[in-house]
Amino acid sequence: MSTTYPDLAGLKALPLDELPRLAGQIRSFLVDDVCRTGGHLGPNLGVVELTIALHRVFDSPKDHVLFDTGHQTYVHKILTGRSADFATLRKDRGLAGYPQRSESVHDHVENPHASTALSYADRLAKANRLAGSDDRHVVAVIGDGAMTGGLAWEALNNLGSSQEPVVVGLNDNGRSYGPTVGGFARHLSRLRAGHRERNNLFQQMGLSCLGPVDGHDFAALEGALRQAVALRRPTVVHCVTEKGRGYQHAENDEVDRMHGIGVLDPISGRAMPSSARSWTAVFENEMAEVGSEREDVVCVTAAMLRPVGLGRFAERFPDRVFDVGIAEQHAVSSAVGLAMGGARPVVCLYATFLNRALDQALMDVALHRLPVTFVLDRAGITGPDGPSHHDVWDLALLGNVPGLRIAAPRDTARLAEQLREAVAVTDGPTAVHFPKAVADPPIPALRHMDRLDVLHRSSHQPLDVLIVAVGVTAAAALQAARLIEHQGHGVTVVDPRWVLPVTRLLEHLAARHRLVVTVEDGVRAGGIGTALAQACADAHVRPPVLNLGVPRAFVPHGDRDSILARCGLDAASIARTALGALSAPAACDPASARAAL
């Protein structure tokens, strides 16, 4: 089917009445291929006509077509010659699920976090003017959901005053994951209903505004986009689209219109059968139970209520859950207000998105020593969504927040325990960090020591190696311990449970071994291993501390287990690195045990 798509020159030459057939062909392709690979289906079904119109009006790559929250770029990829690669979508060394500059000259930005494209566009247009390239147009496509992010409004504020001729394609489908929240959503709803708002927000900020136009009507779209270009000033083209359009199962899905899917049967729209439970599903059940146990517990999220596992809590306690839109900074600062008012807030986010609110975690929550709990889903290596969604930085960044206690459960049984422990803390903030993964069987402890669990201890050999397993690296650490034992060395494996701050007991255990190996699926630099090495140095504990983790790099998309192996975090690599250090400590470099990413 990929050979039937016209190139961009051929697309511009197509008669208007042939475009609906092309749109239908693209939708069929998306349903068939994305159901086979998994990915973002609903958002792309909604922007088929809009993307075709953009590439007929603008001349990519000379003109800059920027997509905010790049999950809506599948149609753009098809039209720019990548349809044949969709069988590899989000797979190791395959087609990325977001724009990727190395993939095509038509991908100008790599921006899988929301609300950024207007800032890019404003100053890109200015840079073009300063370079004398006034014939290059800049258009930014942004969804109404992404418009709930504060960064988008900072950019609009500048666009309205700079008067750069940026075209803003507002893709208004009334949703982010679920329905868009807030006052701006109500404003757009009135515009969609045909009310001629005297105080149109865009016009009040100094931008022109065209529409609303039917985002599935080619003539209306192209006419509005050409008119916006002709105005030569910042202009919003308000396009009303339908998320999931053309696929009945997405259109009928009132939860998220099949925003992001796993592998589905395209005919029935049902996921392939699986008995596996995810960490998120376990958290969802436990969070609802915590809500039953404590009436003061409230939950805050940023446009991701169901993806982070708050659906059941929201059904049972609708007045105690707050969705603030794609506004992580506001989510964290609003939790400060809740805590000051006597509530016990739990802020639930994808771990990668908390990075956007680090200042609020530091200066609003921690400085006030408030009992706010951060629940960080999809921490560590996540797999197919790539460098923006692997959250390999959260432990390194949060480790520098004074007074913050961080839990990294090794299994879902510990998740249930540590969630309750976190909510019980009253004198400062806590964080619970867990992966995007299937819930494997629980890993029992041989012994509990203070806050630390001993998972393995050699009975006959001397105490050569202490492996400190952070969170879900425990399974690989235990397998590595057996491999090391086969070579005649004694091994202890411990799970610190609360990984920061470093417990003094861990320093004492380190002093009794020849070598300490820390294993974490976050960055080595500044991570848990670094903190333990510093603590041992401060306590004059002298065994070498070898830190295994993710290199300081943007890790590409692919299979989670394969990525971990390439980072030296599988059992064989852990054992090989430890044995190398025991035999030649001075020559051991943990980076040498890893293949290049």
Which residues are designated catalytic?
243, 328, 356
Residue numbering of the annotated binding site: 71, 144-146, 173, 247, 328
Residue numbering of the annotated binding site for Mg(2+): 144, 173
Q: Which of 158, 435, 445, 114 is nearest to 303 (CA)?
A: 114
Phi, psi angle pair for 402, to nearest 5°? -60, 135
Are 465 and 452 in contact by the 8 Å Cβ rule? The answer is: no
Are 37 and 67 in contact by the 8 Å Cβ rule? The answer is: no
- Contacts of 132 by beta carbon, 8 Å cutoff, 6+ apart: none
Query: In Å, what is the CA distance from 426 to each residue of 53, 185, 243, 296, 321?
Result: 55, 36, 43, 12, 20
Give the separation between CA 345 and CA 336, rounded to whole angstroms. 8
Give the separation between CA 288 and CA 421, rounded to whole angstroms. 15
User: Hey, what's the torsion of the CAs at 128, 133, 136, 140, to 10 degrees?
Assistant: 10
Are 302 and 327 in contact by the 8 Å Cβ rule? The answer is: yes
Whether the link from the prior residue into 266 is cis, omega within 30° of 0, is: no
User: Hey, what's the torsion of the CAs at 297, 277, 302, 291, to 10 degrees?
Assistant: -10
Please identify which residue in the block is written with the tokens 């692997």. Answer: 390
Query: In Å, what is the CA distance from 441 to each residue of 132, 303, 444, 489, 503?
Result: 62, 31, 9, 27, 27
Please identify which residue in the block is written with the tokens 């706010």. Answer: 372
Give the separation between CA 302 and CA 115, rounded to whole angstroms. 13
Q: Which of 348, 205, 370 is nearest to 284 (CA)?
A: 348
Query: In Å, what is the CA distance from 272 to each residue of 27, 253, 267?
Result: 21, 17, 12
Residue numbering of the annotated binding site for thiamine diphosphate: 71, 145-146, 173, 247, 328
